[in-house]
Amino acid sequence: MLQLRWFVLWATYCIAIVTCDKKWWQTSVIYQIYPRSFKDSNSDGIGDLNGITESLWHIKEAGIETIWLSPIYKSPMYDFGYDIADFKEIQPEYGTMQDFENLIREANSLDIRVVLDFVPNHSSNESEWFQLSANRTAGYENYFVWADGTPDPNNPGKLLPPSNWISVFRKSAWEYNPVRKQFFLHQFVIGQPDLNYREPRVVEEMKNVIRFWLDKGVSGFRVDAVPFLFESRPEDHGGKYPDEPRANILETTPDDYEYLNHLYTMNQDETYDMIYQWRDILDEYESKDGKPRVMLTEGYADIKYVMRYYGNGTHDGSHLPFNFEFLNNINNQSDARDMKFIIDKWMTYMPIGRTANWVNGNHDNKRMASRQGIDRADAMNMLVLLLPGVALTYQGEELAMTDGKVSWEETKDPAACNTDDPINYNKFSRDPARTPYHWDDSNYAGFTSGNKTWLPVADNYKEVNLKAQMAAAKSHYKFYKDIVALRKTNTIINGDLEVKVISEPVLAVMRYLPNEPIVLAITNLSSSEHTVNLLEFFRVLPENMTVYASSIAAKLQKGERISTSRLVLSPHDAIVLVSSA
């Protein structure tokens, strides 16, 4: 009897350990590298793989455990690598397969994991698959979404596109191919024909792409443009691709993507099953060698659709569907109530047992410090790093890098070039967020030792750069790095979350776990001083706490003891307080 009780106790203890034991990806900071703009090792003005390998010291020094590389595959670069000509080859201007293998080896030796971009929705129109499909080569006929044109009633002999669908980058999503004498679908640029996921051979090809890179030692994938994988079938609409209805958004023209409501080209039910199938592959690898792999999914969609990526009652899906709520719904006018609302939204919708993630920016959006204001950059970094789960950092966010200036003549992004509008192109351009990383104050910010860069370097690199911020007594980088270190504590890994609006401009986020130090992140979003009594909001707080980290402009300094009943916050403070255990 006694033995049985011991056994039960021991088993309970083991289960407790297993359930508390998080997998690496559940607690990681994932740092997005845009390879073209990170570090150039061969002086051609374009970042490359050896540049990343040389720079791994920075990732390690910052305490970051995982890097995600935007596409490095062979590509004509109409959409800077998201138009892939060969899914299993490296783009020559980025290096060779050997360079890639070397990068993986070096990263692993530093305990840094590498996640790659997986771009399943489309290939390049210069891929062999597309050429074979355009020629109707046996086996490849249905690799892409092909359809006959409709005769133009006003223009005999002319063909109109099969439906009114619009590309994300403006104008018709259909392009006529004179070889095949049919239109093909491209939800992004013309050079990105959509693969046809109703063709089993495509499904298998792309699964093999996943296996190919897993065999090379990558730890997972960020999956691109997931909502676009499937389109409605003509069979379900009287034999024709159905027109999409108008969205009735003011000030849009028929060429604008926002002009239509994308009922038939996004978020189709079949999408989720495809994610579950990819998840199975990652799980198979994990069950073979015991090493967990991760899938992050990109979907700008209503939160209910995004939550379906996580899985359903019977099937696991994406480990981390990107949480774009900060990106989409928080700006430099947002107050503490808006922030709490957005944090609670994700935590409320997320299915039980899943891992949250927090995104401040990426290569497709204005840089975080430009969108939120430099004053708020530390606060935004603090939030994504201290909320439960995974924090995403886009290269440069740790320095509060702002958008670079890119003239119309220098503009490369198809989203901007397609506007043909030298005045308003910047509204659409993603180039300002993609200008080279600021390593130091030498020529071209230390990005290259050559005499040109593919996009201009932002003007402020002499003040805003890694070297200067590492040397300064206080800097955005040092604040960021201190908080990354705090993520290794039990409180942040396993602790509960409580978010409180202290006043309109003051937000407080508490993380706590019994018998562990309490962590409290507090920010004053306004430009005036505020004195707060935290004890009115968090009863468990002790009377005194210690300042663990303080933002660049804060008066309170690291190590200072403060009174939680009378905390004075200066304008734009972001402060992390800890209690003694």
Shortest Cβ 80–ligand NOJ spacing (Å): 7
Place of tokens 């508390």: 20
Note whether 89 and 37 are within 8 A (CB). Answer: no
389 vs 414 by CB, closer to ligand NOJ: 414
Burial class (CB in 10 A: 0-12, 13-18, 19+), 311: buried
Nearest residue by C-beta to ligand NOJ?
Answer: 82
Structure tokens at 397: 């966010």
Phi/psi of residue 474, nearest 5 degrees: -130, 140
Among 65, 99, 117, 298, the active-site one is 298
The alpha-carbon radius of gyration of the chain (Å, integer) is 25
Give the torsion sign (CA, 194, 95, 397, 486): positive
Phi/psi of residue 496, nearest 5 degrees: -75, 170
364 is an interface residue for ligand NOJ by CB under 6 A: yes
User: Residues 130-169: x/- map of binding to ligand NOJ (CB under 6 A)?
Assistant: ----------------------------------------
Residues 492 to 521 in contact with ligand NOJ, rule: CB under 6 A: none
Give the torsion sign (CA, 436, 438, 440, 443): positive
Structure tokens at 325: 């709520």
Shortest Cβ 225–ligand NOJ spacing (Å): 4
User: Residues 33-72: x/- map of binding to ligand NOJ (CB under 6 A)?
Assistant: ----------------------------------------
User: Residues 170-209: x/- map of binding to ligand NOJ (CB under 6 A)?
Assistant: ------------------x---------------------
Shortest Cβ 364–ligand NOJ spacing (Å): 5
Give, for 97, the enclosing helix (H) or strand (E): helix 97-109
Note whether 28 and 65 are within 8 A (CB). Answer: yes
Shortest Cβ 318–ligand NOJ spacing (Å): 15
Strands 174-177 and 29-33: unpaired
194 vs 378 by CB, closer to ligand NOJ: 194
Among 99, 224, 244, 573, the active-site one is 224
298 classed as catalytic: yes
344 classed as catalytic: no
Give, for 29, the enclosing helix (H) or strand (E): strand 29-33
123 vs 524 by CB, closer to ligand NOJ: 123
79 vs 403 by CB, closer to ligand NOJ: 79
3-state SS assignment for residue 167: coil
Shortest Cβ 72–ligand NOJ spacing (Å): 14
State which of residues 73, 78, 82, 230 lies at the interface with ligand NOJ (CB under 6 A).
82
| Nearest-angstrom CA–CA distance, 305 and 312 | 12
3-state SS assignment for residue 359: strand
User: Residues 101-130: x/- map of binding to ligand NOJ (CB under 6 A)?
Assistant: ------------------x-----------
298 vs 375 by CB, closer to ligand NOJ: 298
DSSP 108-146: HHTT-EEEEEE--SB--TTSHHHHHHHTT-TTTTTSB-E
Strands 220-223 and 294-297: parallel
Largest CA distance in the chain: 92
Note whether 68 and 104 are within 8 A (CB). Answer: no
431 is an interface residue for ligand NOJ by CB under 6 A: no
| Nearest-angstrom CA–CA distance, 244 and 104 | 44
125 vs 465 by CB, closer to ligand NOJ: 125
3-state percent breakdown (helix, strand, coil) of the chain, nearest 5: 35, 20, 50
**DSSP summary character for residue 184:** E
Note whether 102 and 53 are within 8 A (CB). Answer: yes
Shortest Cβ 79–ligand NOJ spacing (Å): 5
Size of the site for ligand NOJ (CB under 6 A): 9
228 vs 548 by CB, closer to ligand NOJ: 228
Shortest Cβ 298–ligand NOJ spacing (Å): 6
Shortest Cβ 187–ligand NOJ spacing (Å): 8
Shortest Cβ 501–ligand NOJ spacing (Å): 33
Shortest Cβ 81–ligand NOJ spacing (Å): 8
79 is an interface residue for ligand NOJ by CB under 6 A: yes
Among 423, 394, 428, residue whose Cα is nearest residue 408: 423
Amino acid occupying residue 452: K
Residues 219 to 258 in contact with ligand NOJ, rule: CB under 6 A: 224-225
| Nearest-angstrom CA–CA distance, 525 and 376 | 7
71 vs 95 by CB, closer to ligand NOJ: 71
65 vs 79 by CB, closer to ligand NOJ: 79
Amino acid occupying residue 569: L
Place of tokens 């003549």: 409
229 vs 525 by CB, closer to ligand NOJ: 229
Give CA separation, 5 vs 2, 15, 19, 383, in Å: 5, 15, 21, 44
Shortest Cβ 119–ligand NOJ spacing (Å): 6
3-state SS assignment for residue 310: coil
34 vs 285 by CB, closer to ligand NOJ: 34
HSE at residue 4, side-chain half, CA atoms within 13 A, is 1
Give the residues lining the site for ligand NOJ (CB under 6 A). 79, 82, 119, 188, 224-225, 298, 363-364
Active site residues per annotation: 224, 298
